[in-house]
Structure 1
């Protein structure tokens, strides 16, 4: 359009100037704002390259887009969308909308490391203008679709990552995770006071309802020029009333410079006439005032280079709830927009564009009946796929734009007549849904909802109740005081209006890894792409071919979020496999997580190996983390090479640790690995021998320091001692010196009671303290009134000592029994909760030891308890003195006769005692030895009689 055309909006400017003088103290400020709005609209309308302003997920924008594309049939469509997402658009044919285009970077290069992973998503719904433009361009021969917005890399270059907040708890609204959303047509006031003013005077609750009432309903049937100028006016208003956020304004303007620079470069490279192009962008950016605006704008903007970060691209499932949560829309607004879109198509007869083979979309709207006399009927009946624009056709003459704003702004709001049939249907349906959800709703409630909807709409100055009025009325009349089921009435209305439609990515559009997973799990005979939980039963002995499925499922359990692959029966431990397994699988529900695995590798084994290496070599890696990676490498991958590599890394991390925080986990994992290698291989790997040797010296060095460190817990100290005592034999065989352990224990001087008891247990294990001395110390503590309140802490230390010294189990049972017998209630009762919580938190695995030992010691029946004497009391009682047998008891004759009766036993005992003798004769043989050794004879005779 030529810039020399006569002004179109001069009458509107004059009216606004008069209004500014009448309603403002001075005409300058208000007049500048109002006239600036008109100037923005005038500038955008005069641009030779037609600008089509839209709002994201707006049915009015989608309807106007479909109508305009059929009228204009542009050869080139410029779309405000990240330019690097263009290769994904053809994959939309294999998906069920809504889905989201995604750019993902697991590792960053050029951005702060803590930002990783980076993710950008652009959700697409059928009731959106961008989908209509995409479908038109892909299905119409000869049409080129060009994405002109900044790349995903520039999104993070220009905008610092937003602070991490709480993600929605429900599963559907978390489909996008913490990805940065790229929205086409972000049309919302950025001035909080302006939004509150509009909501208050519009008598609505939230922005989605305001937009539905005052924009969607007004522009749903508007012609192209009216729609375009009104949207430009709204975008200019929100732009000029935006707060003075310099950073945000600079980013918005740079995006506009970026897009116009890309479009001019494409026009220059292809020689396309701007009149044959259509620029689809958000209304906020359509009213731009940057110098680079338009095909005749300046070329002063330089587009920076991308970083070397490797980006991967794919499609992920989306949902209405996910879009609402990510872009701060009201719950149910996208579902209501989808229902309004269907009504617009039915009311206007506009034929929408749809990708061929689009899965899950509604059937195409039937073409209106053609007539022989009217051109309008012929236009309405155009097929979904238009023929390509004729290259040789002469361009249509460009007419000056008409002023549609003046009439639209002066026209009173059109009040839609009440559609009683529609409202009655809503009222009956919500009562039916409420009864199924457990509400005691009846026909009277349906009548009440009907009347209340009309009443609320009247109070809000509208004759026809909107879905939001109906939702408020239903909540008021049905919900009463409680929610009997899982869903409240508001949620039931959202479901009734269209529900939370969840998209799905088709098999052909999945990355190779995801397709490989579905192929490997195909023998299960389940539709794993369907949402919901599927039960899989695996008989690994009767069907050996399912072993491959089992291997894949255990790896998926490690890689995917909880619930995606959950074992019900079966286990996979070191050297142990189940014969039968049962799984609950929800891969369709967690399709996004499975797709993002495809960005990390071509197989799940490769992804797991990369993650194990990353965990072992990460900045926060510890010896315990590396040992866990070794265990997973053996348990899930069966890779000895990877296990040795990660084990060497664990050895390095252990040698460089300066704390004992991970000692309990290190002890448990190294014990399991030792048991596995000892039973499965002839010799231990070199790294594990070095680990034991290094760990022995390492913990001996840290032991005195840890006993004095207040930050170290008793459980950690017990784990250190457990490592030293349980690995002692192997460590000594590898060349370690036991003196180092003895010196470490001797140099430990704890002050706390529980640590002192733990040290006593270590001294018992080393032999420097006997059990009798330990018992005497415990008795002395019970006898000392000053120490008595701290005695429970000594017991806690003894309980923790069962980890390094399990042989003290009986003694700990004795100590606990004495405490219950002798401690006063004032000390014992407050301590019992502490003992229970301590055992549950830090010694749950020790409780079975105490339970089994107590069951062995205490009587099994209640009746035997009164006559029962504890074994430790029986041991401490003085032993009865056995009267020495003399010749008067068992005489020489009696002993000789006994020995003579058992000559072989006599010879063996004599040889054992070192006695020499020869049997002379049967009678004298029994007398020879007893005569020479009378005391020995009496002792042996007594022993034989007792036996």
Structure 2
């Protein structure tokens, strides 16, 4: 290669060779590493196509990039960024930074299904070198911006885990520090965890331009310990950002390449990660050579912006004269969608393992460097949040400097003593006063003395760490020590207050024009609300649908958004939407600006929210793990939010298919509740039931009859599930019988059921009572036997639990359950009742809490309402007369109530005729059909006479 003298770094090589021989007791591995570092730097600076190494979100890199762009004015800028993200770069001018470029795929084709949805993000901040390059290329006529990194599809193709089979593959973990895509988990104690801070990015795979951090844990630990810092962000700020902030271009390039080479040569030999790194470099150089050959551009007029780690590449494809042996494989059939999503400083820190507040500190340092160096940064025309340069203040177009071979700047940089910045007392004093003011606002008992203590402690900590000027991290430690003291009175601790004071967490916003069509459609349809929904925070929307009928469309949109977006994006305060019901007034808390990312990602799935909802409902219904209950839920959502019969009938038929293939009863309770609601809705809103729901009831009746004997004996089937099966069979029985089902199948299923547990035994008794196979007197006798037997009284609470669950299929037993509980309290002595009572309460609470209100209402109806009535109150089950045998029935002539019925014979005659009895009324010996009926069943006449007499 040409362009620089052969002996540029010969002096530095000789010094390092001598040092290696001295400290390592002879040449060896250390010499190879040290000389290899110089070779990497020499190779990179000799390359005709200028390589500009950067570090992600580094103010020093951004300042150096701005200076170099104004000096060189390249015609082509090659940028290390996914090549398929190029079309969306122009939309950055419609956003407020920070934002993230995103590639999103809902459905996968060629990747394990467990990885879906696939998402790749590349965050952009104003204090980043890549943004300066993008702004320069897009706003400078005649300049071409070319993205040369692998596509988003190849990000997942080249992941080592993608080479495994689908059965064993797991989705790449964005918090895994071994991820080869710049996705770094944090080992810093102060780094934010993957939670609320990372919400703007979710679980997307993050891409960094310049992932410059030691991959050798021992090396990072060594640097932190000897640098007397707590985490990597502080080390980088102290030993790289500040020294390189005012350096010239050659010094900056050589130092950054040296750092990248050092971290590369001392990285662990992970074959998968090394292969991905080298493939990325081969891909980028192959793309650049293809572009140079296609356009005929002179490499001297180009600039290659990449991470310092990749600038020290040693692959054979390196350089414009490298080998063309690398073949870029085809992309998979996955359909990718591209767009912009809002980002934030906290999200970037959480995703890339940076210390909390480090990106905010970098933004503050960037603004300070601009004021100090008077460098005019590049900014996209119309960029939100930054304003345009004032007239007359923009920097004049620079004349490209003549090409001068770079000289050895590393020797001087490595030899110079560390620069001791002069203490800026005014700045430090302002920080100290401001943190005390912020602490007071947040409930701390801070005073002027604390401000003085923070000032002095910051200087003391900086001196202990060999720094003349306290860094923001020194000041943060001093503030925590002097102000926080014992407790945190409010929501924010002092460390967080310092982060806010240093710039805080800045959140970006995607402008209306940059939103996908779906998101713009949502904002247009919600325009009648007259709310600024693109702003962050919660907005209260009041919908008087009765007074303003046009707001009903807004209500429809909000209910669909509540179904599609995360919790909190659209939250109803007043109003409800259920089958067959619509509210005339509604109140909503809306935070669409806060959840803008989720709304944007909906736009990757369709062009309207109705289409997205329909696709999701179909996907849920046809999922491999779909159950009849989940498919019925999709039917209900389709009816609620989409209307019409087409989709609901399609999903209903799918529910029928799933039910017929199920072999378990886990979803029986939910199936029962949902099919009841759907039946009630269709019976009141449709002239006839849909064919699918009739088939579902018919199939479900036979299905649950078949499973009932097994469910009674299966330990895995809970009593609640069995009760739900009986509830389905009893409540749907009339419809099922009208559709051709046979009740004998249910009777046989109960006859074949032989439960072993006490709760299921009580449930079976209740079912047989409902079908007439067991009378209430027999059921009452069995309960009395349980209470009277010392061997079974301990199990009585579990029987009561079974009766309580029986209220689901047989709600008419509620009075009997009250009687059974009351008898236990009345008959059991304290010695038995008190140890037994906790078991009863816990059993009833855990086993049937949702059925307790039914039992309580029945008890309230049964027991007296006042204390005075209690003394004369008799339980209904004790006051109830017990009819004797037929041979002891009084003669009809003297039966009570006969005179009343004889005076009004029409009613009794009609009932007797209905039952098929014959005869006539007579004064002496009644033989009419009504008289014969009264003679056989005198209790009815007695009860009627007593009722009328009491009235």
TM-score calculated relative to the size of structure 2:
0.91
- Give the equivalent residue in structure 2 for 1:738: 743
- Give the equivalent residue in structure 1 for 2:8: 8
- Give the equivalent residue in structure 2 for 1:131: 131
Asked if residue 432 in structure 1 is aligned to residue 437 in structure 2, the reply is yes
Asked if residue 382 in structure 1 is aligned to residue 395 in structure 2, the reply is yes
> 1:936: how far off?
8.1
Aligned runs of 1:568-587 on 2, under 5 Å? 568-587=573-592
- Give the equivalent residue in structure 2 for 1:71: 71
- Give the equivalent residue in structure 1 for 2:757: 752
Asked if residue 606 in structure 1 is aligned to residue 611 in structure 2, the reply is yes
Q: Specify the SS of the correspondent of 1:53.
A: strand
Asked if residue 815 in structure 1 is aligned to residue 815 in structure 2, the reply is no
Contact map agreement 1:81 1:147 (CA 8 A) in 2: yes
2:851 to 846, 860, 866: 846
1:666 to 654, 668, 671: 671
Contact map agreement 1:351 1:365 (CA 8 A) in 2: no
Asked if residue 702 in structure 1 is aligned to residue 707 in structure 2, the reply is yes
1:727 to 712, 729, 732: 732
- Give the equivalent residue in structure 2 for 1:765: 770
2:682 to 648, 661, 677: 677
Aligned runs of 1:204-353 on 2, under 5 Å? 204-353=229-378
The structure that has the greater radius of gyration is: 1
Structure 2 unaligned residues grouped into runs of 5+: 162-170, 177-191
- Give the equivalent residue in structure 1 for 2:147: 147
Contact map agreement 2:920 2:927 (CA 8 A) in 1: no
Contact map agreement 1:349 1:367 (CA 8 A) in 2: no
Asked if residue 462 in structure 1 is aligned to residue 475 in structure 2, the reply is no
Q: Deviations over 1:64-85 (max 9, x none)?
A: 0000000000000000000000
Q: Deviations over 1:524-568 (max 9, x none)?
A: 000000000000000011000000000000000000000000000
Q: Provide closer, same or farther for how the CA distance between residues 188 and 834 of structure 1 changes in structure 2, counting only shifts above 3 A.
A: farther
Q: Provide closer, same or farther for how the CA distance between residues 596 and 936 of structure 1 changes in structure 2, counting only shifts above 3 A.
A: closer
Contact map agreement 1:345 1:365 (CA 8 A) in 2: no
Matches of 2:694 and 2:585 in 1, distance apart? 35
> 1:840: how far off?
4.5
Q: Provide closer, same or farther for how the CA distance between residues 32 and 936 of structure 1 changes in structure 2, counting only shifts above 3 A.
A: closer
Q: Deviations over 1:154-189 (max 9, x none)?
A: 000001342476995653421100000010000000
Matches of 2:749 and 2:926 in 1, distance apart? 55
Q: Specify the SS of the correspondent of 2:550.
A: helix
- Give the equivalent residue in structure 2 for 1:114: 114
Q: Provide closer, same or farther for how the CA distance between residues 54 and 826 of structure 1 changes in structure 2, counting only shifts above 3 A.
A: farther
Which has the larger displacement, 662-671 or 840-849?
840-849
Q: Provide closer, same or farther for how the CA distance between residues 804 and 32 of structure 1 changes in structure 2, counting only shifts above 3 A.
A: same
Q: Provide closer, same or farther for how the CA distance between residues 789 and 9 of structure 1 changes in structure 2, counting only shifts above 3 A.
A: same
Q: Deviations over 1:256-275 (max 9, x none)?
A: 01000000110010000000
Asked if residue 499 in structure 1 is aligned to residue 500 in structure 2, the reply is no
Contact map agreement 2:572 2:588 (CA 8 A) in 1: yes
- Give the equivalent residue in structure 2 for 1:712: 717
- Give the equivalent residue in structure 2 for 1:26: 26
Matches of 2:15 and 2:218 in 1, distance apart? 26
> 1:866: how far off?
2.7
Matches of 1:910 and 1:36 in 2, distance apart? 115
> 1:397: how far off?
5.0
Alignment RMSD, CA only? 2.9
- Give the equivalent residue in structure 1 for 2:172: 162
- Give the equivalent residue in structure 1 for 2:186: none
Contact map agreement 2:8 2:408 (CA 8 A) in 1: yes
- Give 4+ residue runs of structure 1 displaced > 4 Å after superposition: 164-170, 362-368, 824-842, 876-887, 902-917, 931-947
Q: Provide closer, same or farther for how the CA distance between residues 197 and 825 of structure 1 changes in structure 2, counting only shifts above 3 A.
A: farther
Q: Provide closer, same or farther for how the CA distance between residues 727 and 206 of structure 1 changes in structure 2, counting only shifts above 3 A.
A: same
Matches of 1:907 and 1:15 in 2, distance apart? 126
Structure 1 unaligned residues grouped into runs of 5+: 369-380, 390-394, 918-927
Q: Provide closer, same or farther for how the CA distance between residues 304 and 914 of structure 1 changes in structure 2, counting only shifts above 3 A.
A: closer
Q: Specify the SS of the correspondent of 1:259.
A: helix
Q: Specify the SS of the correspondent of 2:323.
A: coil
Matches of 2:498 and 2:12 in 1, distance apart? 43
Q: Specify the SS of the correspondent of 1:531.
A: coil
Matches of 2:117 and 2:892 in 1, distance apart? 92
Q: Deviations over 1:83-110 (max 9, x none)?
A: 0000111000000000000000000000
Q: Deviations over 1:572-604 (max 9, x none)?
A: 100100110000000000000000000000000
Matches of 2:66 and 2:112 in 1, distance apart? 43
Which has the larger displacement, 545-554 or 167-176?
167-176
> 1:844: how far off?
3.1
Q: Deviations over 1:850-874 (max 9, x none)?
A: 1111011100012222332211122
- Give the equivalent residue in structure 2 for 1:85: 85
Matches of 1:47 and 1:429 in 2, distance apart? 49
Matches of 2:269 and 2:102 in 1, distance apart? 31
Q: Specify the SS of the correspondent of 1:845.
A: helix
Contact map agreement 1:95 1:504 (CA 8 A) in 2: yes
Q: Specify the SS of the correspondent of 1:537.
A: strand
Q: Specify the SS of the correspondent of 2:37.
A: helix
Matches of 1:654 and 1:869 in 2, distance apart? 49
Contact map agreement 2:4 2:46 (CA 8 A) in 1: no
Contact map agreement 1:132 1:354 (CA 8 A) in 2: yes
> 1:822: how far off?
3.0
Contact map agreement 2:49 2:303 (CA 8 A) in 1: yes
Give the number of aligned pairs.
Answer: 908
Q: Deviations over 1:772-816 (max 9, x none)?
A: 000000111111111111111111001000101111100001111
Q: Specify the SS of the correspondent of 1:359.
A: coil
Q: Specify the SS of the correspondent of 1:789.
A: helix
Aligned runs of 1:821-900 on 2, under 5 Å? 821-825=826-830, 828-829=833-834, 832-875=837-880
> 1:749: how far off?
0.4
> 1:846: how far off?
1.3
Matches of 1:105 and 1:933 in 2, distance apart? 86
Q: Provide closer, same or farther for how the CA distance between residues 608 and 324 of structure 1 changes in structure 2, counting only shifts above 3 A.
A: same
Matches of 2:93 and 2:374 in 1, distance apart? 24
Contact map agreement 1:99 1:505 (CA 8 A) in 2: yes
Matches of 2:869 and 2:511 in 1, distance apart? 72
Q: Deviations over 1:630-664 (max 9, x none)?
A: 11111111121100000000001001100001000
Q: Provide closer, same or farther for how the CA distance between residues 882 and 215 of structure 1 changes in structure 2, counting only shifts above 3 A.
A: same
Matches of 1:931 and 1:179 in 2, distance apart? 93
2:554 to 542, 549, 552: 549
